């Protein structure tokens, strides 16, 4: 089994690229999706996680590691995995590597200038009626301010997508991510991807790096 972790700030496009790569044989796992699936299935780990989530608390690292290990242990041994949303800290990365089932072989860092990250995140708009998402610059609706899907004029910016909040989130992220990048650089598994390219170019670059690693 080969495990690659996806590193990058909110808005860097790593989730979008991971979904594209599932078409060429990679399995994409987000820790958020795994948590929701475990809770829905009523597993023991899911119930443990729910107890913290219901109180608005972060799920402790040991539960997250056990959840990831349990999920991956059920997969074919030749699986190629993209893990999104975890680790976020060096202790989490160390815990992953300490478990034989979750050892990381490649860390893909999606690098994007902060100015572009701010532009991507602050430009997002969501239809309050049907949930359709847009971007005022990159994916605008056909008629300004009107949802293509349902015709509603309730296209809103999320409260956490204002510039002040976005810059604060990025500041916290950068402090955490610096340690992670250093950790994986020292293990010689860090690969940086230029995330300011067109999506197709990013995918081509990713495929080259992933195919070279997974041979």
Structure tokens at 203: 């995918």
Reported as a single tens digit per residue, the pLDDT across 9-30 is 988 989 889 888 888 889 999 8
pTM for this entry? 0.83
**Rounded to whole angstroms, how far apart are CA atoms 57 and 49?**
10
Assess if CATH 3.40.50.2300 describes domain 2-112+170-214: no
Euclidean distance between CA atoms 20 and 173, whole angstroms? 25
Q: At what angle do helices 31-41 and 61-73 cross, to 10 degrees?
A: 80
pLDDT tens column, 73-122: 999 999 999 999 899 899 999 999 998 889 999 999 999 999 999 999 99
Give the catalytic positions in this structure: 14, 88, 124, 158, 169
pLDDT band at 215 (very low <50, low <70, confident <90, very high): low
Residue boundaries of the structural domains of the chain: 2-112+170-214, 113-161
Give dist(CA 170, CA 113) in Å, integer.
11
Q: C-alpha distances in angstroms, 60 versus 8, 50, 79, 175, 206?
A: 22, 11, 27, 20, 31
């Amino acid at each position: 089994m080969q495990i690659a972790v996806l590193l990058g700030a909110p808005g860097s496009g790593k989730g979008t690229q991971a979904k594209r790569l599932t078409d060429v044989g990679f399995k994409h796992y987000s820790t958020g999706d795994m948590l929701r699936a475990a809770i829905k299935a009523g597993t023991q780990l899911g119930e443990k996680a729910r107890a913290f989530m219901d109180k608005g608390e972060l799920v402790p690292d040991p539960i997250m590691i056990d959840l990831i290990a349990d999920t991956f242990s059920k997969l074919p041994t030749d699986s190629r995995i993209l893990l999104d949303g975890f680790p976020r800290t060096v202790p989490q990365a160390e815990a992953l590597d300490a478990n034989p089932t979750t050892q990381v072989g490649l860390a893909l860092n999606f690098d994007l200038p902060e100015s572009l990250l701010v532009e991507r995140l602050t430009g997002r708009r969501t239809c309050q009626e049907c949930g359709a998402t847009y971007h005022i610059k990159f994916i605008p609706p056909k008629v300004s301010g009107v949802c293509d899907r349902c015709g509603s004029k309730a296209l809103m910016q999320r409260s956490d997508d204002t510039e002040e909040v976005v810059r604060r989130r990025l500041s916290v992220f950068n402090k955490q991510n610096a340690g992670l990048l250093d950790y994986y650089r020292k293990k010689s598994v860090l690969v940086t991807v230029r995330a300011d390219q067109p999506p197709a170019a990013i995918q081509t670059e990713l495929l080259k790096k992933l195919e070279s690693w997974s041979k």
